[in-house]
Structure 1
Amino acid sequence: MSFIHGYDPDTMREIVDPAQCKERLAEIGEQRSLVSMLERVWLLKVLGETEEALTLSEQSVRFARMAGTRKDLLRARILHATVVQARGAYAAAHQELTTCAEEAEGQGWSALAAFALQHRGRVSFDAAEYEDARSDFKRTLFLRQESGAPESQLQNVLLAIDLCDRRRAQTAVAS
C-alpha cells in the first residue's frame, strides 16, 4: 500500500493522509526489524515528528550497520539524511546523500544511487540551489531509465526537473 498520494507541486513534499499514516504507525508498533524501523522513520518524518524520526533513524543506521547488508545500510543512511533535511540541516544532509550516491554508483546499484540523488536534489531545491537540484534530478532520470524504473517514477523526476526550471526562471526575473 502506498501512503504517498502525490507530491506538492511547489515543494516536492509527499502528500499523505495523516490518519492513514498514524494508523500504520500503530500497526507497526515497536517492531524491531530493520524494515519496520525504516517504515516508522519515514512515517514519523512525513507526519512532522522529526525529533522522534531522527532518534529512530540513528538507531536504524546502527542496526543496519550491525545486522544488515551494505544496501540496507545505504537505505538507512539515505532515510536518515532525509530526516536531517526535514530538520533544516541541508549541508549535513547533502554530504551524507553525496557519500551514499557515490557508494551506490560505485557498486553498480543504479536504483539506489538514483534514490540518493533524487533526495540530494530535493535538499538542493529546499536550499534554493535550483541548478544543483536540476543536475541531480537529470542524473536520477538517467539512472532510473538505466535500471528500468516504472513510468510513474520517471514522470515524478520529470516534474521535479520542470519545477527547478520554473524556479530558476522566477529567480532570474526577480533579480
Structure 2
Amino acid sequence: MDLQAAEERLAELAELRSLSALAERTALLRLLGRLDEAFEVANEALRLTRFTGDRKDNVKARLRRAQVLQFQGKLVEAESEMSAVVEDAATHEWTRIEAFARQHRGKVHFDAGDLSSALIDFKAAVFLREKHGAPADLMEASLTSVLVVESLLAESMMETLPIAGRISLSR
C-alpha cells in the first residue's frame, strides 16, 4: 500500500461528510492502522445512515465498523455486529452483503481460534458468492479460506489421534 497516497487521499476527504467519503475514510484509516480514528469515522457514517433511513447503507456501515472492531482485537464485539449484519442481509436477501459479512465473520472466528465456526462461515461465503456470480478474486479468497481452515482442522485432529490412528494404510 502506498502510504503517502493514502495520506493524501485522507487529506482530500477530510472535510467531506458524504456517506461514500466517510466509508472511504474508515477503510483508509483502518488500513493505515489508525484504528481509533477509523472507529470514530465509522460511527459517524453509521449515524448518517440512521438519518437517511436507507437500511442497506446502515447494514454496510455496521459491517465497516465491525471490521474496525476486529482490527482493534475486539473480537466479541466484532462477531456480534457481524452476526447482526448477516441476519439483516439474509432477511432482505442482500446476497452480496451477506457473503461479504460471512467471509469477514469467518475471519473473526479464525482470529478467535474458533476454526469450526470459521469454516461454516467461509463455506457459506463460497455458496453465496457462487450464487450471485462473484468475481474470481472473491471466490478465490473464500475458497482459500476454506482450504486453510480445513487443513488446520485436519492437522489438529491428527494431533489428537492415538499413534495407531496416525498410521497410514497406503504403501
State the AA in 2 paired with 1:161.
Answer: V
TM-score by length of 1: 0.85
* Distance 1:46-1:170 versus aligned 2 partners, 3 A rule: farther
Work out which of the two has the higher radius of gyration on C-alpha atoms and give 1 or 2.
2
Cα distance in 2 between the residues matched to 1:108 and 1:33:
26
> Structure 1 residue aligned with 2:19, among 26, 29, 34?
34
1:73 match: 58
* Distance 1:172-1:108 versus aligned 2 partners, 3 A rule: same
* Distance 1:27-1:144 versus aligned 2 partners, 3 A rule: same
* 1:74-153 correspondence to structure 2 within 5 Å: 74-153=59-138
* Distance 1:124-1:17 versus aligned 2 partners, 3 A rule: farther
Cα distance in 1 between the residues matched to 2:15 and 2:107:
30
Cα RMSD of the aligned pairs, angstroms, is 1.5
Question: What 5-or-longer segments of structure 1 have no aligned partner?
Answer: 1-15
Cα distance in 2 between the residues matched to 1:45 and 1:129:
24
State the AA in 1 paired with 2:37.
Answer: E
* Distance 1:104-1:172 versus aligned 2 partners, 3 A rule: same
Cα distance in 1 between the residues matched to 2:34 and 2:157:
35
How much has 1:170 moved relative to structure 2? 4.1
* Distance 1:67-1:125 versus aligned 2 partners, 3 A rule: same
1:155 match: 140
1:10 match: none
Cα distance in 2 between the residues matched to 1:140 and 1:169:
21
2:6 match: 21
Question: Kindly, what percent of the aligned residue pairs are identical?
Answer: 36
How much has 1:169 moved relative to structure 2? 3.5
TM-score by length of 2: 0.87
How much has 1:173 moved relative to structure 2? 5.1
Cα distance in 2 between the residues matched to 1:19 and 1:165:
38
Question: What 5-or-longer segments of structure 2 have no aligned partner?
Answer: 161-171
Cα distance in 2 between the residues matched to 1:126 and 1:81:
14
* Distance 1:68-1:19 versus aligned 2 partners, 3 A rule: farther
How much has 1:23 moved relative to structure 2? 2.7
